[in-house]
Amino acid sequence: MTENLLELRNLRKTYGALVVTDDVSLSIQPGEVHAIIGPNGAGKTTLIHQISGLLTSASGQILFDGNDITRLPMHERVRRGLARSFQITSILPGFSALENVALAVQARSGSSFRFFGHAARERDLNEPAMESLNLVGLGPRAHVPAGLLSHGEKRQLELAIALATEPKLLLLDEPLAGTGHDDSQRVVETLRRLKSRTTIVLIEHDMDAVFSLADRVSVLVYGRVIATDTPERIRANPEVRAAYLGEEEVV
């Protein structure tokens, strides 16, 4: 195993004269939860898009599990073990929670999934799908249409979908966005359970969640990383507090 599971080297994304991510270099270690925080417009979601392959970079290099994936398409990065969830929930509301996750298993395995066939015939898809649902706490809701789930349950379902691809690294873009207190607590508990199973890169504005979950935190401001350290040291960093944490009243 390489020392770093993910390594970003001088990553840059521009739109004409607008620089969105600027010379970003980061290393993500196997098994850690690494949070990326910063003010709105800092370039956090753009950076996740670059890592996942949704956006191509103007320059720089992305190494994943020891291999250069800078020019690989998104589906090939997923095949290699890099999965993500989106800031806005993306599920199929007319299908059950189980069917949504089984589609991800299908994409991973290449097997056929007949939604209108007998479920028993699709055991090779349904069993791993149920395992993912149970892992995020949605087992009892497996046969509920995804469109009828609460917002927090939909975020948990999205995690189950990502887990069904058997990722080595999971990219999460604001998994608590739009959730109420109870749903937020459920999602945080789910993420705690996932810490022992996969490496996680997390974008999140909820600082309580960030500092309770993350092993290390990187702060992005105007497209540049101004600090990477443990949560305790980030919390005490004067430059970070002046640029961001002071706004959040983190104590």
Write out pLDDT tens, residues 42-81.
999 999 999 999 999 999 999 999 999 999 999 899 889 9
Tell me, what's the pLDDT at 249?
A: 46
- Residue 34 makes CB contacts below 8 A (sequence gap 6+) with 26, 28, 199, 200, 201, 202, 214, 215, 216, 217, 218
pLDDT (average), residues 18-24: 96
Residues 49 and 151 in one domain: no
pLDDT tens digits, 125-180: 889 999 999 999 999 999 999 999 988 898 889 989 989 888 999 999 888 887 87
Is residue 106 predicted with pLDDT exceeding 90? no
Angle at which helices 181-194 and 151-163 cross, to 10°:
20
Residues 160 and 200 in one domain: no
Domain that holds residue 40: 1-81+168-251
- Three-state DSSP at 54 gives coil
pLDDT tens digits, 107-125: 776 554 455 444 434 777 8
The answer to whether 219 and 244 have CB atoms below 8 angstroms apart is yes
The answer to whether 143 and 151 have CB atoms below 8 angstroms apart is no
Tell me, what's the pLDDT at 7?
A: 97
User: CA geometry: angle at 148 spanning 146 and 151, to 5°?
Assistant: 85
Residues 101 and 1 in one domain: no
Q: What is the dihedral sign for C-alpha 169, 173, 174, 178? A: negative
- Residue 138 makes CB contacts below 8 A (sequence gap 6+) with 97, 153, 156, 157, 160
Q: Token match 């089984």: residue?
A: 102
Residues 105 and 175 in one domain: no
User: CA geometry: angle at 153 spanning 50 and 214, to 5°?
Assistant: 50
The answer to whether 191 and 201 have CB atoms below 8 angstroms apart is no
Residues 52 and 162 in one domain: no
By C-alpha distance, which of 123, 129, 87 is closest to 108?
129
| Burial (CB count within 10 angstroms: exposed 0-12, middle 13-18, buried 19+), residue 172 | buried
Choosing from 144, 166, 188, the residue where a domain stops is 166
Choosing from 136, 166, 196, the residue where a domain stops is 166
Structurally, the chain folds into a number of domains equal to 2
Residues 150 and 94 in one domain: yes
